[in-house]
Amino acid sequence: MEFQRLEVLLQDKINDLRKLKVLILGVGGVGGSSALALARMGINEITLVDYDKVDITNINRQVVAYHSTIGKLKVDVLKDLILDINPDCKVITYPIFYNEDNKDLIFNNDYDYILDCCDVVKSKEIIIRESVKRGIKIISSMGAGFKFNPSLIEVTKLKNTSYDKLAKILRYNLKDNKDCLDIRVVYSKEVIEHHDKVIGSNSIIPNMFGLYMASIILNDIKGER
């Protein structure tokens, strides 16, 4: 059995995990790792939202990126990987750029969790507001670029973040809604200084952010958060 080792850890709660419905917004370095972790946890419905195609510059960090997948939609590549792990998983894809015009489109289904793994500030604001308004648990990833030290990654509420420019912007833009500031986020307290126009990244930190996000769901089910 594919999930026998996980069942040893969760016992009867494995069924609660399997029946979850999770939406992932952004399936790059962070979201791709989250998705594969969820697939290996036996979750049976995952929705993927991302308009982007695999680029050669993604190869250094993204689970969807191989020379053989360059030019393919990330959601399509990731769907194939998920189904190769868990053929019983229902994978729904939206190859769209999430914005104000299509914000309701992805809510055709009910979700237990939303993982916000995108890197566009406005899209993050919209999905956070929509999730809070609809009463859906959301976990949001802050900035993983330029970070090196995995020991400084933390899970906290958005309002409690520090040393993260993306989190600072979101705290300001969402300050009119206290519930939005109470959402859980994964972020790094690592202090960085850079003047590069291209966001530097590596194969460690973005993927660890994604694994942290999946771990929050796992520990919620286990009852340890």
4/187: higher pLDDT: 187
Amino acid at the residue 222: K
Three-class SS of the chain: CCCHHHHHHHHHHHHHHHCCEEEEECCCHHHHHHHHHHHHCCCCEEEEECCCECCHHHCCCCCCCCHHHCCCEHHHHHHHHHHHHCCCCEEEEECCCCCHHHCCHHHHCCCCEEEECCCCHHHHHHHHHHHHHHCCEEEEECCCCCCCCHHHEEEEEHHHCCCCHHHHHHHHHCCCCHHHHCCEEEEECCCCCCCCCCCCCCCCHHHHHHHHHHHHHHHHHHCCC
Comparing CA positions, the residue from 223, 222, 220, 201 lying closest to residue 33 is 201
pLDDT digits (tens, 9 = 90+) for 150-160: 999 999 999 99
Q: Domain ranges in the chain?
A: 4-222
* Cβ atoms within 10 Å, residue 155: 15
pLDDT digits (tens, 9 = 90+) for 178-203: 999 999 999 999 988 776 778 889 88
Amino acid at the residue 69: T
Share of the chain above pLDDT 90, in %: 84
Over 70: is that where the pLDDT of 224 sits? no
Top-level CATH class of 4-222? alpha beta
Give, in degrees to the nearest 5, the angle at Cα 188 between 140 and 178.
45
Residue 223 banded pLDDT, cuts 50, 70, 90: confident
Q: What is the pTM of this model?
A: 0.95
